Amino acid sequence: MKILVPTKRVPDTDQKIKVSSDGTGVQTNTLPFIINPFDAIALEEALRIQEGASDEVEVITVGIGNDEYEKELRAGLAMGADRAIHVSTDELLDPWNVSKVLKVIVEKEAPDLVLMGKQAVDDDSNQAGQFLAAQLDWPQATFISKIELADSKANVERETDLGIEKLSLNLPAVITADLRLNEPRYASLPNIMKAKKKPIDSIPLTDLGIEIEPKIEIISVEAPSSIRSCKKVETVDELLTLLRDEAKVL
């Protein structure tokens, strides 16, 4: 069995984010980068499937981006992935084009399962997984909080506002991970050593034979207003009045 885990390299959004001087993105030069937390959860799950399986399971991570990407791919290998594929490009791709790239990789690798984060925390698009499933015409399950594989099927649970939804889907499939699926591990000492020798297969984006057609144009990026108006209320009645008349939520 083969599991493909696409991972995105993102700035750590818990840090203080500042808009770049040209107003079309955020300043990244002083920000530390991390593996997108949801992708790390997907990778952790793939590793747990591998550790729990009786047959051999290969876990492959894929990253699309500039040379800096190697650091995060190496981190994925240190967590335990078997090998990594780096699609190298300096272009920033939107989710549609990411899914096009991933489609080519999936066709090449023929995995039984694509396990990825439900969204990347830098742009919060929540689209790449869905686009990929559609392009491959594979079954998909998103926002997964539990997964079990049995007899070429994936039985999954997703947390919805109405309760827990249980789905069963045929493999191969695209499944995206939510926060509560698991807690990713730190790399162990031996795995950090081993990761240095694991292969990262680098493929230039231009060699994939696909046309990049941007679907999203960023017009401007603005920081949210930092001035939040707070009001101290004295009584519950006063609070209710405000909620009803001013906030209009009651």
DSSP letter for each residue of 73-92? HHHHHHHT-SEEEEEE-SSP
Contacts 24+ apart (CB under 8 A), 29-32: none
Residues 26 and 221: beta-carbon distance below 8 Å: yes
Query: Does 120 participate in binding another protein (rule CB under 8 A)?
Result: no
- Sign for the CA dihedral angle at 11, 12, 18, 23 comes to positive
Residue from 12, 91, 148, 238 touching another protein (CB under 8 A): that is: 12
Least distance from another protein to the Cβ atom of residue 151, Å: 27
Interactions with another protein, residue window 186-225 (CB under 8 A): 186-189, 191-192, 195
Interactions with another protein, residue window 70-109 (CB under 8 A): 74-75, 78-79
Q: Which CB atom, from 125 or from 191, has the smaller least distance to another protein?
A: 191
Q: Which CB atom, from 110 or from 227, has the smaller least distance to another protein?
A: 227
- Burial classification of residue 86, based on how many CB atoms lie within 10 Å of its CB (0-12 exposed, 13-18 middle, 19 or more buried): buried
Draw the binding track, 121-150, toward another protein (x: CB under 8 A; -: no contact): ------------------------------
Residues of this chain that bind another protein (CB under 8 A): 12, 14-16, 30, 32, 34-35, 40, 74-75, 78-79, 183-189, 191-192, 195
